[in-house]
Structure 1
């Protein structure tokens, strides 16, 4: 089978590799779609702190089961699935206490272990989430980023009837905002600089603050009034936006850091203390977040097809990165068509 191997930054070669035999508790997948995310771009630039070359990427996927092991019972040949791409130790404190998604020895397919950027993939049954009839493979490839959003929103104890501000209207920010709205937030507003992303937020029914032409504090007051935002989700991951999310927070509110922050951020902890803020981190997801993401799509409470702006053939894998690089804020989600 063909496998896309990133040998060094900005370089992908295709190699022919044998398909592994299917074990008793495993299945063989025909990979249909692969999504490209921001973390993949960090690898493309050689800037991901926890990924070494060579590496096979691909962790946002949709696939069809084409062979099952003797002990497999949850899926059949022909079942459509997506994959939860974490590899965990099972024995550390987080794993033993219901927090396996932050395992002390966490590895993620496509970063610290082999990803799914190949025509076929053999994987353990317990990594699968079934895609119900009616969900397309494109939508299946969006389950993983939607699960990120679900987990982030569920980090907040109460979202129902709350005012929510999302800083950053990229794919994750958009999905966080849609998820918060689906779970009963009274008002959800996205702050974003890109005209394209602002338009997409509006298209899926979200209110927006044009960060390029509107003062953020004024926008917050306009949308939320004196109550301001109860919860702020930071979905950019820059030092500036993290600090800004805290500095604009109302007393007694909650700030959730969703964006992946790669450098140190100076935070006015005196302000945090005086305002009695809750600052929460959120990382990845668990199986129930995948299940919830599937429910949101099947119940049509979240729209993901609007966010898919480009398709690339598997043999042109590197083109996906070029599209993102050359178009920046005009691109949301690039999907690679495999089989």
Structure 2
């Protein structure tokens, strides 16, 4: 089978390797159909991901069909459409034992610290598999992973129903966080960015309130959106110091700021201000299985809108061209798919 390997930053080789065929009783053989490229993949491409070494087989957002199942598999059948969580966990550390395995002490993520799915066939265990309906496209199936990030981060809050929410960063993840906040009953959701293109995509996905902070100062935009009510919950998905600063500085006293952005440089936080305002800061790490299940359900019933986020497709043998397209497109690109 064909396999794409990033041998060093900016360089991808294609190799013919033996296809996996022998299954353990609990394992499933997938035929990969679509692979989504995310911001973390771009960090790897540029040699800027601190937890990834080379060579590496990328690919952690994907959809597939089930080609074969082990003799003990009960929840999947040949021919079904599926994806799977890319997390490899120890199952023995404190976080794992309390069910917080997304923060496992020995966590490895396929596509980063372990081989990913940039190949024709891939084996996963049943406990990480998610089957999605035939009515859901392979493109949407490949986006269950980033949607699960939105599901998980919005579940961390002490409750969004009836609250005003600000999401900083209107890329794919920020967009999905905003959509999940809306789905969880937030009163108003405002998404901010410096790109009119990304903010227009938020509008297409049903996020009515947007703010370009290059054109309108953050505090002024907050007053326009929420008037005297302000906002009670902020989500930082941009991974930018200035973004974190304004969210903390303007959230209501006793409010929450949930951080899921990835920072190239560690940000600083005014902890005196956090203490004086009794703010709650939370980190959000990936997702758990129930987040995948919820994402699948909300996508399939139309509550999460994905089509405006899909920018372009590339065939598998043009994997490198997909990265170059993202680099050349600036802020005019959202989700790029690689097709097998």
TM category (shorter chain) comes to over 0.9
SS at match of 1:226: helix
Q: CA deviation at 1:230?
A: 0.9
Return the alpha-carbon distance in structure 1 between the equivalents of residues 244 and 223 of structure 2.
Answer: 20
Return the alpha-carbon distance in structure 1 between the equivalents of residues 249 and 263 of structure 2.
Answer: 17
| 1:69 aligned residue | 70
Return the alpha-carbon distance in structure 1 between the equivalents of residues 330 and 132 of structure 2.
Answer: 31
Q: How does 1:165-314 map to 2 (within 5 A)?
A: 165-206=166-207, 207-314=209-316
After TM superposition, the structure 1 stretch with the greater mean CA deviation from structure 2, 47-56 or 15-24, is: 15-24
| 1:138 aligned residue | 139
| 1:10 aligned residue | 10
Return the alpha-carbon distance in structure 2 between the equivalents of residues 158 and 250 of structure 1.
Answer: 15
Is the CA contact (8 Å cut-off) linking 1:65 and 1:76 kept in structure 2? yes
Q: CA deviation at 1:262?
A: 3.4
SS at match of 2:41: helix
Is the CA contact (8 Å cut-off) linking 2:2 and 2:119 kept in structure 1? yes
TM-score when normalising by structure 1 = 0.98
Is the CA contact (8 Å cut-off) linking 1:109 and 1:115 kept in structure 2? yes
Return the alpha-carbon distance in structure 1 between the equivalents of residues 82 and 196 of structure 2.
Answer: 34
**Pair 1:116 & 2:124 matched:** no
Is the CA contact (8 Å cut-off) linking 2:146 and 2:173 kept in structure 1? yes
Post-superposition Cα deviations, 1:228-251, rounded to whole Å, max 9, x if no partner, equal 111010110122222222122221
Return the alpha-carbon distance in structure 1 between the equivalents of residues 28 and 96 of structure 2.
Answer: 24
Return the alpha-carbon distance in structure 1 between the equivalents of residues 126 and 2 of structure 2.
Answer: 23
Is the CA contact (8 Å cut-off) linking 2:80 and 2:134 kept in structure 1? no
Q: CA deviation at 1:275?
A: 1.1
After TM superposition, the structure 1 stretch with the greater mean CA deviation from structure 2, 259-268 or 179-188, is: 259-268
Write out the 4+ residue segments of structure 1 that deviate beyond 6 Å after TM superposition: none
TM-score when normalising by structure 2 = 0.98
Is the CA contact (8 Å cut-off) linking 2:218 and 2:246 kept in structure 1? no
SS at match of 2:147: helix
Return the alpha-carbon distance in structure 2 between the equivalents of residues 133 and 275 of structure 1.
Answer: 49
Return the alpha-carbon distance in structure 2 between the equivalents of residues 318 and 101 of structure 1.
Answer: 30
Q: CA deviation at 1:184?
A: 0.6
SS at match of 1:330: coil
Post-superposition Cα deviations, 1:99-140, rounded to whole Å, max 9, x if no partner, equal 011000000000000100001112212121011231110000
Return the alpha-carbon distance in structure 2 between the equivalents of residues 291 and 63 of structure 1.
Answer: 16
Q: CA deviation at 1:261?
A: 2.1
Return the alpha-carbon distance in structure 2 between the equivalents of residues 236 and 187 of structure 1.
Answer: 20
Q: CA deviation at 1:258?
A: 1.3
Return the alpha-carbon distance in structure 2 between the equivalents of residues 279 and 45 of structure 1.
Answer: 30
Q: CA deviation at 1:271?
A: 0.9
After TM superposition, the structure 1 stretch with the greater mean CA deviation from structure 2, 78-87 or 258-267, is: 258-267
| 2:332 aligned residue | 330
